[in-house]
Structure 1
């Protein structure tokens, strides 16, 4: 037993610090003391690892560890482009030129609500997002380096199978077996990597084949089939995008972001000013004709309740087994492989609003892909690109979080590139949208994203700061003095005409100059070749 040894523990309430051992100096060599001292030393070591200041054994406080000075946050430098697929593909080189001038990142935000074309058959059989626009942008971003393999990969992922089912299925198996000419000039490692995911997709097709339903290969995009195979194999849509980006050699500084990060189908509905509701993106843009593999009635305008025509179709096809939940609206179940972008009938009234719906037609509020919000937090400029207003832009803008991110003070430039022509969505032809109507639709969608009522015209500048437009017989009319009054800068460009004398297209050099001027990286030296295309 050790004598003349006392231990006192000071409670935390006495001094606000952790308990500290105090001892009689005469007993330093006792085994009990040494054991307890070692334990106390270990406690101090652990707590110091947490950054806590502890008194020394003599009772004096150690000098505080100097704090590392806070590094100021770097200013935002990126650019985010909201767009759809095919229309904005024509401006990819323009956006890349602007990105290079600013030495910054470039992110494309693409909606995944498309339920038409070959995507409709993939959604019907497998579920999942509409991937056509994402695939289209990834393939468009393949660098133009004149390499035979690069050209072959671009051609491969853009290739579509024939319209006739038997011919399409036969060609599909030629591709699977690597006997198709599409594989020429693609190296063996990449060929086998691509084939592995195509075979994975084919296995999923076989597993889902039922007497009442089969997968229709008609007009199927090979790129869409690859992305679906990769998504089903990895269980992640973004992993599939990363894989295709790597195969296509898309530069790291450029990102293609789906507006939603989901493995489920996402559908939209549009409300017209006369109260009509249209369900499904394809019916909003261009109604489709029935297909041969899974026959159905022609698409059209749908009321909030299921019409008799739809009820009849549903009764005739209730036995068809697919990826749709029981009770899914017929308009969302019906295949839409065949449709025409050339012939479009007018809607009965203007589109007033677009929102997301569940399979039963009920409105739902969807949060944006977190990666989209992260991208918006690091940018100084947002571009609303050309394309279908209500099916290419609005589905990305109404998502929760997007509106708040865009009104942030760090986003200095919010640039709308106005379409060169109006279409079915921005009609009817008797009352087409004006430039102000385009701006209003974007402002309404972003306010909806924030849970706010429709903004007034005086509040539009929160969401759109600049408008770039061209004048022509089919172009939306722009009231430049009114835009100036609302605090929105409007820049007019001349657009070249095609061989038939029609306008509606932007000159790439003029548009690049206009964007560089707005964003602030335009070379002060004027380019004489561009002077006649920029009006101001």
Structure 2
């Protein structure tokens, strides 16, 4: 049995199968749903949404400091590209895999147990066009990709660690260096190569890092120290979050939302604060100056889909606390006269969230909190089809 899509109205929830069917029949005319996100938690939903809309918009955090992205950041003093590449691949055309050979190359990851020399040789084979993944790509696209890899290899420092490196990340890094240290041109180029069904941009094109102040006053610097994936989870709740440029001092800095991203927000028909690590994947995108004001100006549904599984970053936070954490940077930017309802209109929860928790959100923030059957049976994640149909129904 298919899940019932919904439309949010002042009267509550109304089914809207017609709206979903219309989007499915003409996804090129589908709704402009905008996500503030990062990480991989949204990728499944993003991939399924292509069935209903080629117009989704994704503003992604470039502040990651873990995994292979960290090696690139240390080597080239650049923004993180891993989450951007991951979302581009999730949105690539899979109806016929528009450019299957390019997709395979960008998605390929080097092994973690090969000798360093063997990994360097593999990258050299790719840049020379001799590796099967590269030789399978038709000209002139093959030459274009090799040019980006040339830029990377010519600049890479001695001893760079290729262990588990994503080839797509290396290509993005080379494009970044070859385009005057700018992300936007190379993201646009990669989007065209794999026929991305949507828009993917970094929230800012700046080399910044994420830091937090804990409830006990301590500061923790760097995204990898927050998520509980590569290091031990935080042992105290997060009180505030900030961006910084200099890893030595961790001094907070302000950065402005680029005009091109402000215009993207202004085009949105639905705005979603999606599941993912609360601070490093979602709230990080709300920190640049101008985000809160741009969101407040849009008279569209603005929904929060909280993560269903455990989130080390949300330690000791109730659902109402999580909502407050999202509202804080938006309200600081939008100003004290902007009401909560202009920044967030609804919280959508699975039935696994108690009615008491939902009621607490409404009492504290004046925001409707709606419980819907959206969980994937047997797993602490959302059912991607159900969520996709719900989001399409909101516009």
Task: Tell me the TM-score range normalised by the shorter chain.
Answer: 0.7 to 0.9
Contact 2:375–2:381, Cα closer than 8 Å, also in 1 = yes
Aligned 1:60-139 pairs, distance under 5 A: 78-97=32-51, 99=53, 105-139=55-89
Superposed displacement of residue 97, structure 1: 4.6
Superposed displacement of residue 113, structure 1: 0.6
Q: Does 1:445 align with 2:394?
A: no
Superposed displacement of residue 169, structure 1: 1.6
1:154 partner SS = helix
Change (3 A) 1:244 1:476: farther
Provide, for residues 336-359 of structure 1, a one-character-per-residue CA deviation record: whole Å limited to 9, x for no partner. xxx4xxxx6431111111101120
Aligned 1:198-347 pairs, distance under 5 A: 198-205=149-156, 208-209=157-158, 214-235=159-180, 236-251=182-197, 254-262=198-206, 265-286=207-228, 339=230, 345-347=232-234
Superposed displacement of residue 88, structure 1: 0.7
1:420 partner SS = coil
Equivalents in 2 of 1:183, 1:276: separation in Å? 48
Aligned to 1:38: none
Equivalents in 2 of 1:352, 1:442: separation in Å? 12
RMSD of equivalent CA atoms: 2.4
The one of 174, 189, 197 equivalent to 2:148 is 197
Equivalents in 2 of 1:465, 1:219: separation in Å? 41
Contact 1:168–1:219, Cα closer than 8 Å, also in 2 = no
Provide, for residues 26-84 of structure 1, a one-character-per-residue CA deviation record: whole Å limited to 9, x for no partner. xxxxxxxxxxxxxxxxxxxxxxxxxxxxxxxxxxxxxxxxxxxxxxxxxxx74321111
Aligned to 1:176: 127
1:366 partner SS = coil
Aligned positions, number: 359
Superposed displacement of residue 422, structure 1: 2.2
1:469 partner SS = strand
Equivalents in 2 of 1:166, 1:440: separation in Å? 50
Contact 2:376–2:382, Cα closer than 8 Å, also in 1 = no
Superposed displacement of residue 477, structure 1: 7.9
Change (3 A) 1:396 1:496: closer
Contact 1:380–1:413, Cα closer than 8 Å, also in 2 = yes
Contact 1:434–1:477, Cα closer than 8 Å, also in 2 = no
Provide, for residues 283-324 of structure 1, a one-character-per-residue CA deviation record: whole Å limited to 9, x for no partner. 11136xxxxxxxxxxxxxxxxxxxxxxxxxxxxxxxxxxxxx
The one of 328, 337, 357 equivalent to 1:479 is 357
Aligned 1:369-384 pairs, distance under 5 A: 369-384=258-273
Equivalents in 2 of 1:467, 1:377: separation in Å? 21
Equivalents in 2 of 1:442, 1:125: separation in Å? 33
Q: Does 1:366 align with 2:366?
A: no
Q: Indicate the structure (1 or 2) with the bigger Cα radius of gyration.
A: 1
Aligned 1:136-147 pairs, distance under 5 A: 136-147=86-97
Structure 2: runs of 5+ lacking an equivalent? 1-30
Q: Does 1:435 align with 2:311?
A: no
Aligned to 2:305: 417
Superposed displacement of residue 414, structure 1: 0.7
Aligned to 1:306: none
Contact 2:129–2:135, Cα closer than 8 Å, also in 1 = no
Provide, for residues 411-469 of structure 1, a one-character-per-residue CA deviation record: whole Å limited to 9, x for no partner. 32111111111221012xxx3x322122111001212334669x9xxx54332111111
Aligned to 2:13: none
Superposed displacement of residue 496, structure 1: 4.9
Contact 2:36–2:273, Cα closer than 8 Å, also in 1 = yes
Equivalents in 2 of 1:478, 1:187: separation in Å? 58
Equivalents in 1 of 2:275, 2:179: separation in Å? 33
Q: Does 1:461 align with 2:341?
A: yes
Change (3 A) 1:478 1:226: farther
Equivalents in 2 of 1:496, 1:470: separation in Å? 6
Aligned to 1:354: 241
TM-score (structure 1 length as normaliser)? 0.63
Equivalents in 1 of 2:264, 2:356: separation in Å? 31
TM-score (structure 2 length as normaliser)? 0.84
Structure 1: runs of 5+ lacking an equivalent? 1-76, 288-338, 520-536
Provide, for residues 207-228 of structure 1, a one-character-per-residue CA deviation record: whole Å limited to 9, x for no partner. x44xxxx322111111111011
1:146 partner SS = coil
Aligned to 1:509: 385
Contact 2:40–2:86, Cα closer than 8 Å, also in 1 = yes
Equivalents in 1 of 2:184, 2:268: separation in Å? 21
Equivalents in 1 of 2:355, 2:119: separation in Å? 45
Higher relative contact order (CA 8 A, sep 6+): 2
Equivalents in 1 of 2:389, 2:186: separation in Å? 35
Contact 1:345–1:424, Cα closer than 8 Å, also in 2 = no
Change (3 A) 1:478 1:106: farther
Equivalents in 2 of 1:443, 1:437: separation in Å? 10
Equivalents in 2 of 1:218, 1:436: separation in Å? 41
